[in-house]
Structure 1
Amino acid sequence: MVDPTETSDDFLPEALRFRSPAPLVDIGANLTHESFARDLDAVIARARAANVTGLILTGTDREHAEQAVALARCHAGLYATAGVHPHDASRWDASLQQAMRELHRQPEVVAVGECGLDFNRNFSTPAEQERAFEAQLGLAVECGKPLFIHERDAGKRMRDTLHAGRDDLPGAVIHCFTADRETLYGYRDLDLHIGLTGWICDERRGHHLRELVGEVPRDRLMVETDCPYLLPRNLPAKLKGRRHEPSLLPWIVREIAHWQGVSEVELAQATSQTARAFFRLAETEDPNVAGTFQQEEH
């Protein structure tokens, strides 16, 4: 639990106060999670101090998407996605579809999702997941906004589904990619984007990603924390609690840059440029929020 009296400066030990050499966009931050309720302003302030100037808040269901939109309206540089996670696909019906359609019309919403297929846990049946995902593919085509996709142990079915309608989709990113080389190249063939997280910092399960990261085209790569989940396991100091947050994104970028054999500044600039183009964000000229982003007209 985070102490609500904790200040922006106090929460992170000195060794974890990273600052990116170039502005970053965190394309997947679950800031509507209850663990951020008490100190959200401080979390955002720490992100700014770390030069993480763009935050895309993940909407995994109607409630969290609406909360993400509300936050985006209150803070410069924050945006939202709106979708139904495959875990909740059993709830998909005509009413929920219409609610999502209305959310996608909001200017703060820059992508449809988090949606997709998760055949690892199957909290909803595969048939329910496929029905909800295909409906959200249609909504993405309808609103002209890209897809923010969750896929776990469903690579072949995901590729088959996307292949059928890829020409009509405005774009898609596989969020928190953790799969194998065959799946990566299948997504490359579909001209998809790839989101990488602190999974690559995990000595227990991230080794294969270290070998694959150089095979992700630079103009297709974006970075994310997926906070409060996936706290990097190789941080140089202990963090109070186990909650991940956007201010630690520069550490993930450092790790990815190492395995790609490029500088941190080069990777930061490339991933931010890709994210701005993918989500149709433009740099603001407001000097009071320098380095943050605003959404371009569709």
Structure 2
Amino acid sequence: MSDSNTTDFTNPSTFILLGIPGLEAAHIWISIPFCAMYTIAVFGNFTILYIVKREPSLHGPMFYFLCMLAITDLVMSTSTLPKLLSIFWFNSREISFSSCLTQMYFVHSFSGMESGILVAMAFDRYVAICNPLRYSTILTNSIVAKIGLAVVLRSGILILLYPLLARQWPYCRTNIIPHFYCGHIVVVKLACADTRISSYYGLFNLLSEIGMDVFFISVSYTLILRAIFRLPTKDAQLKTFGTCISHLCAIFALYIPDFFSSFTQRFGQNVPVHFLVLFASVYLLVPPVLHPIIYGVSTKQIRDRLLQLFTHKKT
């Protein structure tokens, strides 16, 4: 490693991303599933957006929220995966300081937006099941747009402190980041100052934003399950609960890796670095891959339009 990477500096012009430390020899092989998953994520989410745009019968609150989810998935995966593949394929490890902070902002803000959209989708399911006669009057296009704007503003403002604080710290240890993207805690750990305010704010944001979202989702599904169990027949209960399966799968696909990755980054000092990095990749890439598959398979309207799309192409 060159001396320029370890000498003292206050404002580094570039950071060096290592990719997956300890697995450098396998980077080319690891790139194959990563590239395949990114391709699936891009194709799947663009397909969802195309189908909803083309089919007027899908122009409703549930599918508008699904489009918002697809957009956040595209931005989240595109913020990190192209750079990761360039590290694997071309050994292009450098990233400018400003680009690093920009990437940090996009990854964390859109992750928060994705969580907020899942709350909105839980509210959609609650209204559809518990107040079906008022569904169209409660979730109007205006209300859906306001919910979407609130989700964007909440995460966009809360995460703004991440790069602003990170820019203030002096980086006099090293500019080498043992990761494939500029995560908040990973970058802050490189600073040679008391960065507890950044660490505490990150933990506060995780527990308040994501924790609050999980709380509201839990309340929604408690009310939903209570309404389902009041239905007269078993078939009606199963059919109604089936409309929530795709959303529940999307929730688990996002929150389980998110919480595990966030807490291990802060408190997992004894966890191997390559394991932390690989799990972070699961959190960033698996939800964008799974969401279009989950909704494409389990949502009848999308499944039917998808089959029609491919049938017309063959004919």
TM-score w.r.t. length of structure 1: 0.26
Q: Kindly name which structure, 1 or 2, has the bigger radius of gyration based on alpha carbons.
A: 2
More strand by share: 1
With a CA cutoff of 8 Å and minimum separation of 6, indicate the structure with the bigger relative contact order: 2
More helix by share: 2
